[in-house]
A and B are shown apart, each in its own frame.
Chain A
Amino acid sequence: MTKLLTLLTILLALAALASLHLGLRHYAPGTVLDALRGGTSPDAIIVATLRVPRTLVGLCSGAALGLAGFLMQAATRNPLAEPGLLGINGGAALAVVLGVTLGNAPGLAGIGALALVGGLAATALVFGIVAAAGRAAGPATTLLAGVTVAAMLASLTQVLLLVDETALETMLFWLSGGFAGRDLELLALGLPALVVGCLGALVLAPSLDALRLDDDSAGALGVRVTGVRLAALTLAAILASGAVAMAGPVVFLGLVAPHLARRLAPASGSAGLIAATALTGATLAVLADIAARLIVAPGESPIGAVLALVGVPVLVGLLRQRREAVL
């Protein structure tokens, strides 16, 4: 496990360096190093002010979204759970847009708070609806209910934006989701969420291990099933909201990262998976961001489109894997 985590860390570092190097203009490794050391050549300044923030924001959002997906999947024993598909990101985005439309320009903290409220509300809504459907609601029903709520929230967001044209101009870029052009100060929103989420997840890890069994066995092991579940979902909402506040709604990372981590460390317990998922999510986000710069150059693709190209095959693969009728 230690070996794997070291390997993933090295991979992440390489991806981050590549993200500083590659783009519409490739900067020589020397320039990148110069920028990291605080150089003042024009190229170094460009790297430091454009490439460094987007790499850091991508890294931080990727880790947060991956972890959010892992927590949702572990808490609900649902391999298809993911903050983007289930509408959690959409809820956070809607709350931010609502705040911008109603009030005048909430500050950085305001955006963070709005995203958090929206993310928590959407989590409560989706899982409340599913809980209301009774025990029979399997992963598929949860996914479909979440996708539908997500569609509804997106429509509401769109209506709000069209009614308020000034909001449209300021929000459209953020809403399309991505790591480019984000301020470094946004990390002040994402990092605390990521730290809280990581620590909380590690605290919950032993209980999440027990939750892999059925509810009764977990209960017999002394795990307070409902409490753990609620705590994990709350943490997931905090993580997802932090990521949305930074990078806008980004789909599929929360689905792909935990599954990749599980593939890489099939025998690992929850604590190891949490670390592996955070690293995988961060690496995937940075790589997707690089791809977004390159595949439609000189234009720039929204990160969501790139991630869908990877995420949909993973989703289809997961659907095919579930032989037993979990519907």
Chain B
Amino acid sequence: MTNLPPFLRLGLLVALLGALTVLATGMGSSHMPPGRVAAALLGYGARMDEVIVWTLRLPRVALAILAGMALALSGALLQRVTRNPIAAPSILGITDGAAVGAVGFLWAFSDDANLLVVSIHWQPLAAITGAFAFAGLVTILAFLDPGGRGPLRVILYGVALAALAKAAVTLLMIVGPVYRAGQALTWLTGSIAAAHWSDVFVVAAGLAISAVLLLVARSTIRQLVLDTDSAAATGVPVGRAQVALLALAVGLTALAVSQVGAIGFVGLVAPHVARLFHGAFAGGYLAATALIGGVIVLAADTVARMIAAPLELPAGALTALLGAPLFLWLLLKGRRTHG
């Protein structure tokens, strides 16, 4: 694959994502063949088809793709900034931190009748706050560690704090509005079942802003592949660039988690697939990562809908089953080579 020119490889990914979109949109209680889906998408389908596609099915498909893109980009940035191939938002405690923020928001801003006293649209902001708090805590713990900052050490602190965040989410769900505790699975494992266009727009806006920032900073990001000294020698303000990219990564994860819950392992898997399929140093690596992230979450969500229909599994359970073996492999492979 890597001997194709980059734009062709990206084109292939876009085509794959498109095909998957049509397929996923057709799936559901009333099955729709791809031809009718395509017609409805392009705006000349039957009226009924268009209603089903645009108001019922497409928000979910779009949200899956965009959340996947955000998580994948976040993972790629984290891996590059920490120079650590097993870094990922769910492993560093960022995903669960965002879930704490999102659930904490419901708890803090509900009145006695379990009604929100502020608009639900502020929830992503709470998720971002939670994600930054936990990411900051992990960074501080790793920074203050007397044993030096090995790549595994950061991850261990992340794992520890993720456990703490999960406990906090559980407790907040119990003390918080009772009827929302039913969404427990959503916050703890991640599910895309309840998607609205407004959710889609929130994630889309965040992704668009991030894309612009990443485009502006693309040469800096490329130079961060080098070791710190060499990168500094090329004129990159390394420290500031790292902090900025870290913040961007945290923000992207928080945004995705606030809408779809704590879907794990996408940020780990997508960058590695992109590395194999596209090459880490080829132009458009981040774009490839994002597209692959979209494909993974959409595929996971679609399989989650099909596998036990009419029941739905949380997409996050499937991404964990896919991502955990890869993480083990990376972890142990790294051990063997570096001794």
Contacts and interface: CB of A to CB of B under 8 A. Distances in A.
A complexed with B: yes
Contacts of B115: none
Interface string B302-339: 00000110011110111011001101100110011011
* Secondary structure call for the A interface: helix
Contact of A141 (B145, B159, B331): B331
B133 interface: no
Given A155-B317, A162-B308, A305-B171, A147 B147 contact: no
Which residue of B160, B166, B308 has the most chain A CB atoms within 10 A of its CB atom?
B160
B182 interface: no
Contact of B336 (A133, A311, A316): A133
Given A134-B336, A148-B328, A162-B312, 9 more contacts: A134-B335, A136-B339, A141-B331, A147-B159, A155-B189, A296-B174, A299-B175, A301-B171, A322-B147
B155 interface: yes
A99 interface: no
Contact of A319 (B145, B307, B314, B317): B145
A319 B328 contact: no
Which residue of A129, A130, A305, A324 has the most chain B CB atoms within 10 A of its CB atom?
A305
Nearest to A297: B175
A320 interface: yes
Interface of B: 86, 141, 144-148, 150, 152-153, 155-157, 159-161, 163-164, 166-168, 170-171, 174-175, 185, 189, 264, 307-308, 311-314, 316-318, 320-321, 324-325, 327-328, 331-332, 335-336, 338-339
Given A144-B156, A296-B175, A312-B164, A304 B170 contact: yes
A315 B157 CA distance: 9
Contacts of A305: 167-168, 170-171
A309 interface: yes
Contacts of B150: 325, 327
8 contacts: A129-B328, A144-B159, A147-B159, A156-B321, A251-B163, A316-B141, A316-B160, A319-B157
A147 B152 CA distance: 13
Contact of A145 (B147, B168, B332): B332
Contacts of B320: 151-152, 154-155
* Secondary structure call for the B interface: helix
Contacts of B160: 312, 315-316, 319
B139 to A, nearest CB: 13
A158 B189 contact: yes
A133 B46 CA distance: 58
A134 B335 CA distance: 8
A39 interface: no
Interface in A114-145: 129-130, 132-134, 136-137, 140-141, 143-145
A44 B146 CA distance: 54
A165 interface: yes
A308 B311 contact: no
A301 B147 contact: no
A137 B170 contact: no
Shortest 3 CB-CB distances between A and B: which pairs? Answer: A308-B167, A152-B324, A305-B167
A327 B84 CA distance: 14
A165 B308 CA distance: 11
Given A129-B332, A137-B332, A296-B174, A144 B317 contact: no
A127 to B, nearest CB: 13
A149 interface: yes
A267 interface: no
A308 B164 contact: yes
A302 interface: yes
